[in-house]
Structure 1
Amino acid sequence: MNDFMNTDDKNDVILGAAAHELEQMVDQVCELIGTPLAETTELQRQVLAAFGFGAVYSITHRDRLAEPQAHALSIRMLTKPFNYSEQQAVDFADDLIRVASNEEAHPVMNTIIHRGINGHIQFTQEDHEALARNIQEIMAAVQQQG
């Protein structure tokens, strides 16, 4: 059956699976911090989105996605489950990409993105304790700065 799938269809399947994986990870992270996504503050939501962007990077690397696919996946994650508008998601994704490639642009967010890369690995290895510790440390640090 796969012989009949064209490249666009395969990309859709890969991106759909990656989007689903991201949603599961976000759900689990929210469960670990004890706050449903809908009840987070805007700052918490941005932190979780940056952490999730780290997971996008991890998935992009693992699945060897092209840059446009990674960008699409980032926007998809920001619109669902984070509920940013499409324009907000595009702008935020562009900011996250800029920060991920330039630590000086925003050192704290860069660190959160990199912790999200580790968080994705912890999620896929089902290391709930390490994932919980990872996100809780970030949230505590951000609350102190806030």
Structure 2
Amino acid sequence: MNDFMNKDDKNDVILGTAAHELEQMVEQVCELIGTPLPETTELQRQVLAAFGFGAVYSITHRDRLAEAQAHALSIRMLIKPFNYSEQQAVDFADDLIRVASNEKTHPVMNTIIHRGINGHIQFTQEDFEALARNIQEILAAVQEQS
């Protein structure tokens, strides 16, 4: 069947599968913190989005996605499930890329992104206890700082 799919169709399938995986992870994380995504504060939503961006990086590495695919996946994740507008998602994705590339830009956000990489591994291994601890520690630390 793959012989009949063009490159764009394969790309759509890969990104669609990855986007679905991210949505499931975000849903699981929200369940673990006991707060549905629509009920999170803006700060919590930003933290969860940065954590999710770490998962994007993990998926990108695992699936050997191209830079353009990773960027598209980041934007897609910020639009759905996080409900940012398209322009907000593009701007936020660019900020997350900048932060992930240079720890000194925003050390706290960089740490959250890297914890999200670990969180994705915990999610795929169904280690929900560790995933819950991971995200709860981050949220507690961020709440203390604000």
Distance in 2 of aligned mates of 1:82 and 1:141:
21
**Aligned residue pairs, count:** 146
CA positional deviation for 1:120: 0.1
Partner of 2:63: 63
CA positional deviation for 1:7: 1.1
Distance in 2 of aligned mates of 1:91 and 1:22:
19
Query: In the TM superposition, what whole-angstrom CA distance separates every residue of 1:43-72 from its partner, at most 9, and x where no partner exists?
Result: 000000000000000000000000010000
Distance in 2 of aligned mates of 1:10 and 1:59:
16
CA positional deviation for 1:140: 0.4
Distance in 1 of aligned mates of 2:129 and 2:78:
25
CA positional deviation for 1:20: 0.1
Task: Classify the secondary structure of the residue corresponding to 1:84.
Answer: coil
Query: In the TM superposition, what whole-angstrom CA distance separates every residue of 1:18-52 from its partner, at most 9, and x where no partner exists?
Result: 00000000000000000000000000000000000
Query: In the TM superposition, what whole-angstrom CA distance separates every residue of 1:63-112 from its partner, at most 9, and x where no partner exists?
Result: 00000100000000000000000000000000000000000000000000
Distance in 1 of aligned mates of 2:89 and 2:42:
14
Distance in 1 of aligned mates of 2:141 and 2:35:
17
Task: Classify the secondary structure of the residue corresponding to 2:139.
Answer: helix
Instruction: Return the TM-score normalized by structure 1.
Output: 0.99
TM alignment of 1:86-105, pairs within 5 A: 86-105=86-105
Distance in 1 of aligned mates of 2:70 and 2:85:
18
Distance in 2 of aligned mates of 1:69 and 1:47:
22
Distance in 2 of aligned mates of 1:105 and 1:44:
20
Instruction: Return the TM-score normalized by structure 2.
Output: 0.99
Distance in 1 of aligned mates of 2:132 and 2:59:
20
Task: Classify the secondary structure of the residue corresponding to 1:131.
Answer: helix
Distance in 2 of aligned mates of 1:8 and 1:57:
21
CA positional deviation for 1:6: 1.1
Of all paired residues, the percent bearing the same amino acid is 92
Distance in 2 of aligned mates of 1:129 and 1:93:
28
Partner of 1:116: 116
Task: Classify the secondary structure of the residue corresponding to 1:65.
Answer: coil
